[in-house]
Amino acid sequence: MPKQILKQLKALQPGDLIFVEWSDASKGQSLGGPMDIDVPVKTWGIFLAVLGQRSKHVVLAQSAFRFADGFYDIDYAIIPITWAMKVKVVKTLEVNKVEAQALLTSFLTGRRRMFKRRVENHHGS
Q: Is 3-24+39-124 a CATH 2.30.30.520 domain?
A: yes
Task: Write the pLDDT tens digit of every residue in 71-92.
Answer: 667 789 999 999 999 999 999 9
Cα dist. 17→44, 50, 62, 64, 68 in Å? 7, 14, 10, 14, 24
> pLDDT at position 119, please?
43
3-state secondary structure of 13: coil
Q: Rounded distance, CA 56 to CA 96, Å? A: 24
Average predicted confidence (pLDDT) for the chain: 81
Q: Please state the domain extents for the chain.
A: 3-24+39-124
pLDDT of residue 59: 95
* Position 102 pLDDT exceeds 70: yes
